[in-house]
Amino acid sequence: QSVLTQPPSVSGAPGQRVTLSCTGSSSNIGAGYDVHWYQQVPGTAPKLLIYGNTNRPSGVPDRFSGSKSGTSASLAITGLQAEDEADYYCHSYDHSLEGYVFGSGTKLSVL
Amino acid sequence: QVTLKESGPVLVKPTETLTLTCTVSGFSLSEPRVGVSWIRQPPGKALEWLGHIFSDDDKSYNTSLKSRLTISKDTSKSQVVLTMTNMDPVDTATYFCSRMSYRGTYLFDYWGQGTLVTVSS
């Protein structure tokens, strides 16, 4: 049971905009800890996509954006492309658990 | 160029101890505000943070697994070692090591390719 809750699946057509949510609690996201997002193509290692809630590492297209409010965070992908089909995980810190926590993951399908 | 690579057994028996090594390059394990974490992923399931070690030898472990885990490092060899005792079939997973770096908060910016460990008799 993951501490951060994500919808199991999201889908969209090429060119569309989708939003992936990550819901936490007052001991992690709600406590002010940053949220990071990772993209994982099946069979490969996760790749850092968004850090510090809203920042993109160099090389990540500006089609990807992050936001955070209260006990939740969101990842938005605009201009959906076939190559965006992957699993997406959010990550934060939990002070009650005294450790790092990941979301349950969302599988993005591009129709 | 930062790289990490996991190595170790692909198959362990129940009750045995797992030892995995993460060999890093492109950065030093003595760098301040840089650490290495171990993260695992059971087949078809989510990522789970296991623990980390920093350059000053500060360590932290997932509280649910703390009694079974030990992380150590050999800076001269650029290696971080994970040991997990009393392995069980539920510990079957791909084990990743990842560099932790600080950008206002710690995040996992580089990952190894992962190594699949199967626990079976």
**Structure confidence by residue, pLDDT tens digits, A19-62:** 999 999 999 999 999 999 999 999 999 999 999 999 999 999 99
Q: Provide the percentage of residues in chain A whose pLDDT is more than 90.
A: 98
Q: What is the mean pLDDT of residues B21-41?
A: 96
* Chain B residues closer than 8 Å to A91 by CB: 47, 107-108
Is residue A2 scored above 90 in pLDDT?
A: no
Please state the rounded mean pLDDT for residues B53-75.
96
User: With contacts defined as CB-CB under 8 Å, which chain A residues touch B37?
Assistant: 100
Task: Look at residue A80 and tell me whether its pLDDT is greater than 90.
Answer: yes
Residue B61 has pLDDT above 80, yes or no: yes
Instruction: Report pLDDT digits (tens) over B79-98.
Output: 999 999 999 999 999 999 99
Most A-contacting residue of B71, B107, B109 (CB-CB within 10 A), to test interface: B107
* B109 and A CB contact within 8 Å: yes
In the predicted model, what is the mean pLDDT of chain B? 96
A1 CA: distance to closest CA in chain B (Å) = 9
Q: What confidence tier does A1 reach under pLDDT thresholds 50, 70, 90?
A: confident
- pLDDT band per the 50, 70, 90 thresholds, residue B103: confident
For B70-98, give one letter per residue: b (16+ CB within 10 A) or e: bbebeeeebbbbbebeebeeebbbbbbbb
* Res B6: pLDDT: 98
Cα–Cα distance measured from residue A41 to residue A23, given in angstroms and rounded to the nearest whole number: 22
pLDDT value of position B40: 98
What pLDDT, on a 0 to 100 scale, did the predictor assign at position B104? 82
The mean pLDDT value for A52-79 works out to 97
The pLDDT of residue B98 is 98
CA distance A78 to chain B (A): 23
Nearest-CB residue to B107 (from A36, A99, A104): A36
> Whose structure tokens read 């190594």?
B115
* Inter-residue contact A95 to A55 (CB < 8 Å): no
pLDDT at B53 over 90: yes
Provide CB contacts within 8 A for B46, sequence distance 6+: A2, A89, A102, A103, A104, A105
- C-beta atoms of A52 and B113 within 8 A: no
Position B19 scores a pLDDT of 98
User: Which of A47, A89, A99 comes nearest B46 by C-beta?
Assistant: A89
Going by pLDDT thresholds of 50, 70 and 90, the confidence category of residue A5 is very high
Q: Is the pLDDT of residue B67 over 80?
A: yes
Residue A107 structure tokens: 């599988």
CB contact under 8 A, B107 and A2: no
Residues 43-102 of B with CB under 8 A from A: 46-49, 51-52, 60-63, 96
Q: Are A2 and B61 a contacting pair at CB < 8 A?
A: no
